[in-house]
Structure 1
Amino acid sequence: MKLSARNVIEGKVVSVTKGVTTAHVKIEIANGCLITSSITNESVDDLEIKVGDTVSAIIKSSDVIIGK
């Protein structure tokens, strides 16, 4: 798979919580550090994402906003 995104972070799926249309997929990228992605239920099914899978979190954004 080739991507233009430079921020590709590999991790392990620790939970998949489906809602009505959207699922929240939690990915552990380091000991205790999590990234949560909101994707469609259809994408979860198409990619066959399940707990324990190794996946890549691909982050592509033109802005990074910081608040304090």
Structure 2
Amino acid sequence: MKLTGKTDIDAPIDFLYRTLNDHATWEAEARQRGVEVERPADMPLAGPGAGWRIRLPYRGKVRKILV
């Protein structure tokens, strides 16, 4: 499955960059919503190739996603 989306955002670019790159906050937000988040040891923490293994309930099933 490939999901895409586009939205125009009325905010300064430096604010958006800082917000989107605040990985710790994104992880905490996901955990608060019941998502299991794991940082694979074979992936870098930031930059190209960074990622997460995620398990979450979606439409009645537990989904496993590599992001």
Same-fold call, TM cutoff 0.5 = no
Structure with bigger RCO (C-alpha 8 Å, 6+ apart): 1
Q: Answer 1 or 2: which has greater strand percent.
A: 1
Q: Judging by fraction of residues, say which structure has more helix.
A: 2
